[in-house]
């Protein structure tokens, strides 16, 4: 009967390229609700593992090592785990799905779609940590970007490839300002990372600020505040990786991250769980050191001609401008927009405080007449604010100082220029024309 088989039949059964691979498995030795310790398994940092079996199964990510044990952090909610539960690796570290297949979609920190539109097919792959670039691979910021907000277009002009921070305390209008910019920004792709915000804000942002045509060119990565700190950091890395992949295709990308402070908070939770010493305001060194690595990935790419214009919201806890995250972000970014609670209380929206706000590339992308008019408006506003108390008390006598008289006369026009309705769009040419028309002769 064996003669019926071809002579090479038995040889064909042996796969020449087969390489035996051992099944890697360990045991759970410690779990305190967030941090897990496993023994009997050695895996690279970033590897995703499955712990437990059946309904008690939970996923965790390797974050470090200590005393011969592998440290992991829970990626989900509470689980009914038992001592010595099996620990098995299920995912290699560090890749994100990217490409045109993600346009119009909403994913979570693990890259899983949460919009009910089915699986994402045909996506490419990109390292979560990005691809290291030489400083000479980054181009200069030479072209302005229209964001549809008059005060920003005219006085804090943003360039393609610039990194900008919107800094303010809670409830001053950061998310509303972001929505205005998303609707009007002249970008081919908009990548939005909603990191550590309220779940209600995620659905509200999608339905009101990323609706209609804006949704078709947008990718949203949503990781609410009740998710694991590891997932929050992964969400920020994933949003940046998606933007980098589009930039490599030569596209003009607008990356919006709300908020950078929640990413730092997640880093603080992980650092403290690992036993790092707390320094300024309870932040371990690793939480602050993580921010430059994230922010520096945005910018212009000389090779592809694409750019990532990044706008990060930075929450100033207690309206403290010297908060470690605020101070660190200010030193890394190419500009910052400060929102004032005092202006918001007076009903001035967007509540942009022009004094401490600055765009470090505006002199490279704006014309001389534009720059002159912006300086005149700033000078009038600064003079008025310095003497505001005297004017309100009636202690200033008209004619005593020509600069103060000019500042008082121009103040209504200054405030009218800053004010803008949340559903109003003012293009860059219109904002510049209005600014030079009113303040160009000052």
Query: What is the tens place of the pLDDT at every residue in 335-355?
Result: 999 999 999 988 898 999 999
The domain spanning residue 302 has which CATH number?
3.40.50.12240
- What confidence tier does 391 reach under pLDDT thresholds 50, 70, 90? confident
Q: 3-state DSSP call for residue 64?
A: strand
Structure confidence at residue 194 (pLDDT):
93
Does one domain contain both 115 and 48?
no
Residues 145 and 177 in one domain: yes
**Mean pLDDT of the 407-417 span:** 93
Q: What is the mean pLDDT of the chain?
A: 88
Percent above pLDDT 90 for the chain:
52
Residues 232 and 285 in one domain: yes
What's residue 131's pLDDT?
A: 87
Q: Which of 298, 186, 181 is nearest to 246 (CA)?
A: 298
> Final residue of a domain: which of 365, 383, 401?
365
The confidence score (pLDDT) of residue 14 equals 58
Q: How far apart are CA 38 and CA 51, in angstroms?
A: 10
Residue 78: inside a domain:
yes
Residue 185: φ, ψ to 5°: -60, 135
Residues 103 and 208 placed together within one structural domain of the fold: yes
> In Å, what is the CA distance from 236 to each residue of 350, 388, 398?
26, 42, 54
What is the reported pLDDT for 5? 54
Domain containing 263 equals 95-365
**CATH value at residue 54:** 2.40.10.170
**Buried-state track 22-43, b at ≥16 Cβ within 10 A, e below 16:** eeeebebbebeebbbbbbbbeb
Residue 10 in domain? no
- Answer whether residue 222 is part of any domain: yes
222 and 281 in a single domain? The answer is yes
Residue 92 pLDDT > 80, yes or no? Answer: no
Query: Given this model, what pLDDT does residue 260 score?
Result: 93
Do 192 and 320 lie in one domain? The reply is yes
What is the end-to-end Cα distance of the chain in Å, rounded?
A: 104
Mark whether 358 and 381 lie in a shared domain: no
User: How many contiguous H segments (helices) and E segments (strands) does the chain have?
Assistant: 15, 17
Domain boundary among 330, 346, 365: 365
pLDDT beyond 80 at 23: no
pLDDT above 70 for 11: no
- pLDDT above 80 for 15: no
Residue 4 lies in a domain: no
Specify whether the backbone of 183 is left (phi greater than 0), alpha (psi in -120 to 50) or beta.
Answer: alpha
Q: Is 5 part of any domain?
A: no
- Predicted confidence at residue 163, as pLDDT, reads 96
pLDDT digits (tens, 9 = 90+) for 238-260: 999 999 999 999 999 999 998 89
68: left (phi over 0), alpha (psi -120 to 50) or beta: left
Number of folded domains in the chain?
3
Same domain, 99 and 165: yes
Question: 106-150, pLDDT tens digit by residue?
Answer: 999 888 999 988 999 988 999 988 888 888 888 899 999 999 999
In this predicted structure, the answer to whether residue 22 has a pLDDT above a threshold of 80 is no
Task: Note whether 324 and 381 are same-domain residues.
Answer: no
- 115 and 197 part of one domain: yes
132 and 189 inside one domain = yes
Given a cut of 70, whether residue 2 has pLDDT beyond it is: no
Core vs surface per residue 205-226: b (16+ CB within 10 A) or e: bbeebbeeebbebbbbbbbbee
Helix (H/G/I), strand (E/B), else coil: 441: coil
Residue 102 in any domain: the answer is yes
In a domain, 298, yes or no: yes
CA distances (Å), origin 158, targets 35, 106, 336:
42, 27, 10
Residue 250 counted as domain residue:
yes
pLDDT of residue 228: 87
Looking at residue 215, its pLDDT comes to 85
- Same-domain pairing of 153 and 252: yes
Give the domain-ending residue among 365, 390, 416. Answer: 365
Burial of 270 (0-12, 13-18, 19+ CB in 10 A): buried
């Amino acid at each position: 009967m064996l003669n019926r088989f071809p002579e090479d039949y038995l040889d064909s059964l042996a796969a020449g390229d087969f390489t035996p691979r051992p099944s890697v498995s360990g045991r759970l030795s410690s779990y305190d609700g967030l941090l897990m310790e496993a023994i009997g398994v050695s895996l690279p940092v970033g590897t995703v593992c499955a712990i437990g079996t059946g309904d008690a199964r939970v996923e965790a990510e390797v974050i470090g090592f200590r005393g011969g044990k592998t440290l992991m952090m829970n990626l989900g909610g509470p689980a009914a785990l038992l001592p010595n539960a099996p620990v098995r690796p299920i995912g290699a570290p560090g890749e994100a799905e990217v490409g045109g297949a993600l346009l119009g979609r909403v994913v979570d920190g693990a890259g899983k779609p949460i919009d009910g539109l089915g699986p994402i097919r045909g996506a490419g792959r990109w390292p979560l940590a990005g691809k290291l670039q030489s400083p000479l691979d980054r181009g200069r910021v030479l072209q302005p970007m229209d964001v549809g907000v008059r005060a920003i277009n005219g006085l804090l002009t943003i360039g393609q490839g610039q990194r900008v921070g919107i800094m303010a305390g809670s409830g001053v209008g950061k998310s509303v300002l972001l929505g205005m910019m998303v609707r009007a920004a002249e970008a081919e792709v908009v990548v939005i990372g909603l990191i550590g915000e309220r779940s209600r804000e995620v659905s509200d942002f999608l339905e009101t600020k990323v609706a209609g045509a804006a949704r078709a060119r947008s990718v949203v990565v949503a990781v609410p505040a009740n998710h694991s700190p590891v997932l929050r950091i992964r969400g920020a890395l994933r949003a940046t990786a998606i933007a980098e992949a589009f930039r490599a295709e030569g596209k003009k990308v607008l990356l919006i991250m709300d908020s950078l402070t929640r990413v730092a908070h997640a880093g603080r939770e992980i650092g403290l769980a690992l036993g790092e010493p707390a320094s300024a305001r309870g932040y371990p060194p690793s939480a602050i050191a993580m921010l430059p690595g994230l922010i520096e990935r945005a910018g212009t790419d000389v090779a592809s001609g694409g750019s990532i214009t990044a706008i990060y919201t930075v929450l100033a806890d207690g309206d403290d401008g010297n908060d470690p995250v605020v101070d660190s972000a200010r030193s890394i970014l190419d500009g910052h927009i400060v929102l004032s609670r005092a202006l918001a209380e007076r009903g001035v929206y967007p509540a942009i405080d022009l004094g401490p706000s600055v765009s470090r590339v505006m002199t490279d992308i704006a014309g001389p007449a534009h720059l002159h008019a912006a300086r005149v408006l700033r000078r009038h506003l600064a003079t008025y604010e310095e003497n505001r108390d005297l004017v309100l008390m009636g202690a200033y006598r008209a004619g005593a100082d020509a600069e103060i008289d000019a500042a008082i006369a121009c103040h209504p026009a200054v405030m009218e220029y800053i004010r803008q309705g949340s559903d109003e769009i003012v293009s860059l040419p219109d904002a510049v024309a209005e600014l030079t028309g009113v303040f160009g002769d000052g």
